[in-house]
Structure 1
Amino acid sequence: MALPILICDDSKLARKQMARSLPPGWDVEISYATNGQEGIEMIRQGKGDVVFLDLNMPVMDGYQVLEAVQKNDLPALVIVVSGDIQPEAYTRVKQLGALDFIKKPTNKAKIGEILVAYGIVESQQLLELENDLAALAKMAPPKQDTLSPKIVDYRDHYQEIANVAMGRAADLLARLLDVFIVLPIPNVNILETSELHMALSSVEENESMSAVCQGFIGSGIAGEALLLFHDSSFEDMSKLMKYQGQLDDNGQLEVLMDIANILIGACLKGVSDQLDVGFSQGHPVVLGQHCNISDLINNNTHRWQKTLAVEINYTIEKHNIQCDLLLLITEDSMPTLNNKISYLFEHNEPTSK
């Protein structure tokens, strides 16, 4: 009898990557859920004896799913698969009953190791499945794709790539400051410069901000990373960073530049690793201190035109700290970026029963 497997993730790309990472030829029946609430319903329906669970999802996140499984004693073995790789995230999901934690993007070898370690698949069975696939690949002629080109949901893919990249940046900051970073679902829009402030859903019009911008370019992809730091966050951040100087404008600028270097550098590294490109980064430029969002954008409209804007809002648990990181990728970069994503996406799709 086929084993019911549930993949619970709001990203179509992540769901397909996870399905492809399962042992080939394994007798399973795969179901998909796009948020935690759907996931719980499917577990109750017997469609999730083994669940691969994302953490950052709408409606009901992964932590809430684990709480519900634990509270209601639902029959599900849950393995978390997430871009949020902070040490505290791992600790929390283990406390909530997760079997294990896999970082995104998924890895076939790691999935196999975990399935064997928890007795979900026997090691001999896994070896036989892999050998059968290798033998089949040698015998079968090259597959000719006679179907029309698939329509790729690039926006979903941008969001998933940003999700993994923001998790790496949060992990670095969390380890440096010994805190837990609360991560959102990245907000992705393609818009004109005049619409940029509308993309910043978490920023109040009259809120005072300071901002740093840093350009990046590589393999036909170019853009700028923009860090918007809420002025109300400087006091708590300087304490966490153990800043010894006066927190005047110069001191705040030093704190701002340090945070920008950490978040921008780690996030761009996360993007470049996934796309297999190398980015060269320009010198950081201060766009303004103690400005509201409209003035900040209006004073710098010459820098941006139509752009792919990816917004990531970082908040630090138990501290009054909030900042927004935007990746602004030029319109000219889109064909190259989409080609890279199409390659990652591959051509074959997993089947769902």
Structure 2
Amino acid sequence: MFSVLICDDSLVARKQVAKCLPQDWEVAIHFAKHGGEAIEALKAGKGQVLLLDLNMPEMDGYQTLEAIGQLGLKTSVIVVSGDVQPEAHERVKKLGALEFIRKPVNAEELLAVLSKHGLIDGPEEAPETEFSPLDPDIRDCYQEITNIAMGRAGDHLARTLNVFVHLPIPNVNLIEVSELHMLLSDIDNHERVSAVCQGFVGPGVQGEALCILSDSSLEDVAKILNITGEVDDQKQLELLMDAASILIGTCLSGIAEQLDISFAQGQPVVLGQHRNITEIIATNKLKWKRTLAIEISYGLEGYQTVCELLLLFTESSMETLNYKLAHLLEDF
């Protein structure tokens, strides 16, 4: 069977790209979180087509393209990235990529690229999704206000820890809750994580914020804070709650200020500590049909620390949020 490998460090992005593949295409889909995993998958024969992100930890997209050329691996590479710099386009083409698609992926554009290079004999029109995707202008607006909000949260975290915080482009998607479960369970099952959930509510808006940190990340945070001696469960829990408080609180306040609304935040709840992410999902099932998911991945320069922050708005909140964003667009 024909196979597609999707390589992206973002949980939401991997699922969003997979969803944009033609539904009637008989294909095996594989995932990789960085270039190193992608290379191993390609060596194992997984990935006749590689959909490759550029900005990733451990081995980025450029390094992955170089390694593919050096190793003589057979795959057709389509770069999928939020980096729209002309130089980025030129660099990936020189390294052997067939095309460059801008995030977030559009199903029609992806189908056109696959058809152009003879990778699929698809229909003239892209298949319909189960529900209407976000309007591109609205999605861009969500991303922009989140960019500003996450920048403030990153600045707060950087000042607190005295480190440089990497801020990627946030991923915004309207997804089914079943897809959210798949998204979260896509975290490496061998990695133990701790997670905090905090509810929030405003006029016509409600949701949950999830902050997920791997155990190895907590160890790095302890090193950054010069905490000596044994870091027991209680100390790690304090570190987790502090990080979650900074990121969730600052990010929500930044969004609320731009939309001219106010959020009341509930008490943070520890969903699990030192547990497999699938165990956390099993005991904390969300009851919504669909959710607007905004995913932000914070990384600390010089460390393997990555913090996943997910802002999940209920489907009923979309009317209020879209109304607010529509007024913002009118002002531009």
Please classify the TM superposition score into its range, dividing by the shorter chain length: 0.5 to 0.7
More deviation in 288-297 or 170-179?
A: 288-297
What does 1:1-353 correspond to in 2, within 5 Å? 58-59=82-83, 153-199=137-183, 203-243=187-227, 246-302=230-286, 304-346=288-330
Q: What percent of counterpart residues are identical?
A: 54
Asked if structure 1 preserves the Cα contact closer than 8 Å seen for 2:185 and 2:277, the reply is: no
The residue type equivalent to 1:203 in the other structure is: I
For 2:103, the equivalent position in structure 1 comes to none
Q: Matches of 1:330 and 1:215 in 2, distance apart?
A: 11
Asked if structure 2 preserves the Cα contact closer than 8 Å seen for 1:196 and 1:297, the reply is: no
Q: 1:236 Cα deviation (Å)?
A: 1.2
RMSD between superposed Cα atoms in Å: 2.6
| 1:185/1:245 CA distance change after superposition, 3 Å | same
Q: Matches of 2:233 and 2:243 in 1, distance apart?
A: 15
Asked if structure 1 preserves the Cα contact closer than 8 Å seen for 2:149 and 2:252, the reply is: yes
Q: Matches of 1:339 and 1:238 in 2, distance apart?
A: 43
SS at match of 1:346: helix
SS at match of 1:301: coil
The residue type equivalent to 2:328 in the other structure is: L
1:209-242 CA distance string (max 9 Å, x none): 1100111111211101110011111111012234
The residue type equivalent to 2:160 in the other structure is: L
For 1:97, the equivalent position in structure 2 comes to none
The residue type equivalent to 1:155 in the other structure is: R
Asked if structure 1 preserves the Cα contact closer than 8 Å seen for 2:185 and 2:278, the reply is: no
Q: Matches of 1:214 and 1:316 in 2, distance apart?
A: 23
The residue type equivalent to 2:137 in the other structure is: D
More deviation in 154-163 or 305-314?
A: 154-163
Q: Matches of 1:283 and 1:216 in 2, distance apart?
A: 9
Asked if structure 2 preserves the Cα contact closer than 8 Å seen for 1:202 and 1:313, the reply is: no
The residue type equivalent to 2:276 in the other structure is: N
Q: 1:197 Cα deviation (Å)?
A: 4.0
For 1:126, the equivalent position in structure 2 comes to none
Q: Matches of 1:156 and 1:189 in 2, distance apart?
A: 11
- State the aligned residue count: 208
SS at match of 1:264: helix
The residue type equivalent to 2:252 in the other structure is: L
Q: Matches of 1:263 and 1:153 in 2, distance apart?
A: 26
| 1:329/1:322 CA distance change after superposition, 3 Å | same
| 1:190/1:296 CA distance change after superposition, 3 Å | same
Task: Point out where structure 2 has 5 or more consecutive residues left out of the alignment.
Answer: 1-80, 92-134
Q: Matches of 2:288 and 2:227 in 1, distance apart?
A: 33
TM superposition score normalised by structure 1: 0.54
Q: Matches of 2:166 and 2:244 in 1, distance apart?
A: 18
Q: 1:206 Cα deviation (Å)?
A: 3.0
Q: 1:292 Cα deviation (Å)?
A: 2.2
Q: 1:320 Cα deviation (Å)?
A: 2.2
| 1:295/1:61 CA distance change after superposition, 3 Å | farther
Asked if structure 2 preserves the Cα contact closer than 8 Å seen for 1:183 and 1:313, the reply is: yes
SS at match of 1:203: coil
Q: 1:201 Cα deviation (Å)?
A: 9.8
Q: Matches of 2:296 and 2:222 in 1, distance apart?
A: 21
Asked if structure 2 preserves the Cα contact closer than 8 Å seen for 1:245 and 1:251, the reply is: no
Q: Matches of 2:143 and 2:189 in 1, distance apart?
A: 25
More deviation in 235-244 or 304-313?
A: 235-244
Asked if structure 2 preserves the Cα contact closer than 8 Å seen for 1:189 and 1:199, the reply is: no
The residue type equivalent to 1:279 in the other structure is: F
Q: Matches of 2:228 and 2:190 in 1, distance apart?
A: 30
The residue type equivalent to 1:183 in the other structure is: L
